[in-house]
Amino acid sequence: MSAVIKFFSRTQGHKKLSFVDWIAYGYLFLGFLIIFLPVAWLLLNSIKSQFLLQKLDTNLLPLDYDRVVRATVFGPEGKEIFIIKDLPDWVIYWNELRDEDKKQKNDPEAFILKFDGNEYYALRTHLGLVSKHAKELIKNKNLPEWLIKYPSMFPNAKKDYDPDTYLKGLNEEEIRLLSEFLVLKPYKPNGFTSQILVSAINPDTQEIEEYSVNRINTNKETINARLISNPQGGIVKIPSNEIIVNKKLRPSWINYSDPLTNNVRGMNFDAIKCLNNSVFVTIVATIITVLINSMAAFALSKYRFNGQIIFFIIILATLMVPASVLIVGIFKMVSVTGLSGTLWGVIIPGAATPTGVFMLRQYMLTIPDELLEAARMDAASEWSIFWRIVFPLALPAIAVLAILSIIWRWNDLILPMIAVSTTKTAYTIQLCLLDFQGEYVAQEHYRLAMTVVSLIPTTLVFVFLQRYITTGIATTGMK
């Protein structure tokens, strides 16, 4: 620690901070901010709840608001929008709960019995009881099995079935339940959204009243709000600087714990598997890359053979080819060789990199030939010259290559997409992250949290390997 303080209190010669010192420290600080701020932003956002992220909340900290629930219920009379107040937290946060919390601490079946009418229907949908009850109904009444699958069928397939005929023998409540489950007109899945509860002066009555608000954007002068006492009265505009909001700090750790324990609703997200795949790809690919590149560089820098220059030029020329041009070629290669769907299909196409060969060759050129000749006089085989002389001496450059390779492999999306996008079990972490942005559900909160997790390994690698780069440069010396 004192070393850090000493480092940061250094001045240029004189004791006092000079003009140059100010500029230097200012520059350092600016650079620090530019690099650090996006990371800090990512970290803080990764513990915001899904609700906050969907509301595009701009607070730095995960400050949660008091919430009310706005329900939309569809029925024969059209849709009704209303607000349910004073629900317990576990109901409001139902979608943000872990599975075991849902089951253990609460009893939704008993809870909804306290309500009736549209509030009952809204809560039944929200707490996930529609399909449960509908399935029980189908079973009890001996209705055909295909009804259970009907909601998830493609529209074309649905044409072959006619559920309406089975509704006839049922009572009104049962018809409603089955219709909601099967999404038959005039029913639709009921909407149930949390909204922010704010207090503001009602421009009509000049009294303080409660409003529900979809999102708070302080950049705008007015906010669209719905009066809680009269939700059917529609949207009113209230001045954004006069509202009173209750906030409390509520970090959402499930963003981390759910994906890491394979507990994400609606998908099979196995973070450990994804991370394992990525670690395997990164380590194996980096070892192979270092081997192939250093051997190629050794040959190009230390042997004289026909076509040496040509080879070197060809290798360098591949640098000019943009990676995106190669995608189709790589895809064909991978599928023809039967590597598609395996991690080797990710590893092998990128194993030799022209940049790596070039960098190592240039470094190896600085190793004096006399050392190799001395080794030859010492009866060393070419193989042991490479392993015992050239490789250790090129270690600084090899460390750089290894770091670049690790970072590239870990963050790579293109090769995994080409090689394993159809094989879920071979997904690397980057492909897995992509899964959170599905066609129907955007689970941005999980994605942010898992992005943070995926940053940890590369950061550690850099912290541990960077000293090789600096020590290496200083300690090559022959005479």
344, β-bridge pairs: none
Any idea which residue has 């609460």 for tokens?
Answer: 106
Contact 130, 177 (CB under 8 A): yes
CB-nearer residue toward another protein: 107 or 373: 373
Phi and psi at residue 71, in whole multiples of 5°? -110, 145
Q: CB 49 → another protein: shortest distance, Å?
A: 54
CB-nearer residue toward another protein: 133 or 388: 388
Q: CB 461 → another protein: shortest distance, Å?
A: 23
Could you say whether residue 84 binds another protein (CB under 8 A)?
Answer: no
CB-nearer residue toward another protein: 135 or 376: 376
Q: CB 462 → another protein: shortest distance, Å?
A: 24
CB-nearer residue toward another protein: 109 or 373: 373
CB-nearer residue toward another protein: 381 or 425: 381
Could you say whether residue 388 binds another protein (CB under 8 A)?
Answer: yes
Could you say whether residue 476 binds another protein (CB under 8 A)?
Answer: yes
CB-nearer residue toward another protein: 48 or 302: 302
Q: CB 471 → another protein: shortest distance, Å?
A: 12
Could you say whether residue 478 binds another protein (CB under 8 A)?
Answer: yes
Q: CB 450 → another protein: shortest distance, Å?
A: 42
Range in contact with another protein (rule: CB under 8 A) among 166-174, 310-318, 355-363, 469-477: 469-477
Q: Looking at this protein, which amino acid is placed at residue 32?
A: F
Range in contact with another protein (rule: CB under 8 A) among 54-62, 142-150, 235-243, 386-394: 386-394
By CB under 8 A, the residues from 322 to 381 that bind another protein are 368, 370-371, 373-381
CA dihedral 169, 173, 175, 178 (to 10 degrees): -120
Could you say which of 216, 359, 360, 389 contacts another protein (CB under 8 A)? 389
How many residues bind to another protein according to rule CB under 8 A?
Answer: 22
CB-nearer residue toward another protein: 221 or 378: 378
Q: Looking at this protein, which amino acid is placed at residue 326?
A: L
Q: CA angle, corner 205, sides to 234 and 228, nearest 5?
A: 40
Q: CB 476 → another protein: shortest distance, Å?
A: 7
Contact 229, 235 (CB under 8 A): no
Contact 355, 289 (CB under 8 A): no
How far does the chain reach from its first CA to its final CA, in angstroms? 37
Could you say whether residue 384 binds another protein (CB under 8 A)?
Answer: yes
* Nearest residue to 151 via CA among 122, 180, 116, 129: 180
Range in contact with another protein (rule: CB under 8 A) among 106-114, 140-148, 329-337, 470-478: 470-478
Could you say whether residue 24 binds another protein (CB under 8 A)?
Answer: no
Cα separation, 196 vs 240, in Å, equals 13
Cα separation, 390 vs 298, in Å, equals 8
| Structure tokens that stand for 263 in this block | 């507990």
R_g (Cα) of the chain, nearest Å: 32
CB-nearer residue toward another protein: 167 or 371: 371
Q: CB 8 → another protein: shortest distance, Å?
A: 32
Q: CB 377 → another protein: shortest distance, Å?
A: 5
Q: CB 5 → another protein: shortest distance, Å?
A: 33
CB-nearer residue toward another protein: 123 or 395: 395
Could you say whether residue 393 binds another protein (CB under 8 A)?
Answer: yes
Q: CB 6 → another protein: shortest distance, Å?
A: 28
Could you say whether residue 229 binds another protein (CB under 8 A)?
Answer: no
Any idea which residue has 């803080």 for tokens?
Answer: 44
CB-nearer residue toward another protein: 453 or 469: 469
Q: CB 382 → another protein: shortest distance, Å?
A: 9
Could you say whether residue 469 binds another protein (CB under 8 A)?
Answer: no
Could you say whether residue 470 binds another protein (CB under 8 A)?
Answer: no
Q: CB 28 → another protein: shortest distance, Å?
A: 33
Could you say whether residue 307 binds another protein (CB under 8 A)?
Answer: no
In the complex, the residues that contact another protein under the rule CB under 8 A are 368, 370-371, 373-381, 384, 388-389, 392-393, 475-479
